[in-house]
A and B are shown apart, each in its own frame.
Chain A
């Protein structure tokens, strides 16, 4: 086994690159944190008197958007630093941000649609907030498709860095659209709004106890932990591709 490892590039040697202790700890803390926030949301916070049980999905619905915000924000940071330094590491972070952010956005979109069915009596409505969230998801899904379609690695990294930076506009629009276009039925969480006459709830102590840990988890631990695993995988995939190229050219 040791001989085998010696014949491989260092990036591909599992024995030479064990999972960092910090990542292992982070993974365990994240999984436990996720379980704890579920218990808080499903058990500790009381049932909403008007909306009933489905209101509990709010403890995932809103935090998942902010988790996507962190991941897409790291894509912007990765893209900018890649363009400045041309270091592949930052391109991998940008890619990981898109994959994780897209998954979190889908969670946000799906849980919203499932909440809307019993509360608004419809799975979907072309409300400005819902529409902008859908456009955001499609924009980042297009990132992954475009990335797969560009063969030249350097061109791909440069192009996708610019795309990842520009795509963040859709995240900002989704975040602020209910302030820009007030004709929305989506509840406005911060501040008073006429929208809150329907499908809204008061932030009681139970809500706060469940919401704040969930927000912190999704905003920081969840995206960072998953992205770290994804970046490590991408490093190894890049090394494998280099090895394949080397073998084929020999």
Chain B
């Protein structure tokens, strides 16, 4: 009787589950502010001009002369893919990178690159090989009055709560600024997180700690729009790989839950059955002895 009750209730539960899934789909918010493609998913940046095409997400901020672009290239080498992307995007000769390093994030190893191009253009690129292609996320700044660069670095000193050490490393590598020239300023809270700010003569550095890594933005020359640029670029980095339509993963996860619970409850039934069989054998033996 309890078995029959359980089956009835489980059937009811499954019917409700199906109904729930239908309701969930009906209630889904349409037009989420994301550019969605098969390979990546990036936020549509508020206040930026959306220049995205079918296979690439591209946003431009005219007042800062900055462009953020995410796309994939059918190459195997991340550096070659980054340089091909920059050459296509800027129509400028691409020299050797000013900064080149690797960083391990949750989804694998990324190549982090900064290029000082002609016509006072600075480009910061993150590139990673995935599924036979290279995903390239580029930040290009053409403002002649400022030089802005974005870096992602592994945290070198975990005793620091903010990204101070990485900001100093980045400013030393890119701006050849003595670490002592940077003084801490008030931190700022943006959509991407809480950023610490350091400033020196003609340079501002902003840093965001996320997990084992620090996200650093540097600006030299005329300053003022670094917070907006850093926030936009890092929102792109932090959100870009979320799979657009992930309802199949939800179905997989629910199946895993039901299988584990089913195995747990089923094992109780199986063991009970085994127990009864053993009992029957013992009773048979006892009868034979009598």
A125 touches B106 (CB 8 A): yes
A115 at the interface (CB under 8 A from B): yes
Given contacts A61-B253, A107-B256, A240-B279, 19 further A-B contacts (CB under 8 A): A8-B279, A28-B9, A31-B9, A32-B13, A42-B20, A54-B243, A56-B24, A64-B257, A110-B256, A110-B260, A114-B249, A114-B256, A122-B108, A125-B106, A197-B193, A240-B278, A244-B282, A247-B285, A247-B286
| Residue-wise interface mask of B (79-107) relative to A, using a CB-CB cutoff of 8 A (1 in contact, 0 not) | 00000000000000000000000000011
In the complex, which residue of chain A has the Cβ closest to the Cβ of B247? A53
B261 at the interface (CB under 8 A from A): yes
Contact A237:B275 (CB < 8 A) given known A50-B239, A183-B158? yes
A118 touches B242 (CB 8 A): yes
B246 touches A53 (CB 8 A): yes
Question: A136 to nearest B CB, angstroms?
Answer: 16
| Residue-wise interface mask of A (1-30) relative to B, using a CB-CB cutoff of 8 A (1 in contact, 0 not) | 000100110001000000100001001100
| Stretch of B49-57, B58-66, B143-151, B264-272 on the interface side | B264-272
B250 touches A54 (CB 8 A): yes
A35 touches B13 (CB 8 A): yes
A209 at the interface (CB under 8 A from B): no
B208 touches A247 (CB 8 A): no
| Stretch of B69-77, B114-122, B165-173, B209-217 on the interface side | B209-217
**Chain B interface extent, by class:** 35 or more
Point out the residues of chain A lying under 8 angstroms from B242, CB to CB: 50-52, 118-119
In the complex, how many residue pairs between chain A and chain B have their CB atoms under 8 Å apart? 195
Contact A106:B268 (CB < 8 A) given known A119-B242, A197-B210? no
In the complex, which residue of chain A has the Cβ closest to the Cβ of B234? A197
A198 at the interface (CB under 8 A from B): yes
Partner of A122, one of B17, B106, B158, B193: B106
In the complex, which residue of chain A has the Cβ closest to the Cβ of B237? A198
B249 touches A118 (CB 8 A): yes
In the complex, which residue of chain B has the Cβ closest to the Cβ of A35? B13
Point out the residues of chain B lying under 8 angstroms from A173, CB to CB: none
Partner of B210, one of A110, A194, A230: A194
B183 at the interface (CB under 8 A from A): no
Q: Give 10 pairs: A residue, B residue, CB < 8 Å, sorted on A.
A: A7-B283, A24-B2, A32-B13, A38-B13, A52-B242, A103-B260, A119-B243, A183-B211, A198-B239, A233-B272
A198 touches B20 (CB 8 A): no
Q: At the interface, is chain A mostly helix, strand, loop or mixed?
A: helix
Partner of B106, one of A27, A36, A121: A121
A168 at the interface (CB under 8 A from B): no
B46 at the interface (CB under 8 A from A): no
B38 at the interface (CB under 8 A from A): no
In the complex, which residue of chain A has the Cβ closest to the Cβ of B8? A31
What is the CA–CA distance of A226 and B264 in the complex, to the nearest angstrom? 9
What is the CA–CA distance of A16 and B35 in the complex, to the nearest angstrom? 66
Question: A244 to nearest B CB, angstroms?
Answer: 7
Point out the residues of chain A lying under 8 angstroms from B180, CB to CB: none
Point out the residues of chain B lying under 8 angstroms from A125, CB to CB: 106
What is the CA–CA distance of A238 and B150 in the complex, to the nearest angstrom? 66
B29 at the interface (CB under 8 A from A): yes
Question: A32 to nearest B CB, angstroms?
Answer: 6
B16 touches A38 (CB 8 A): yes
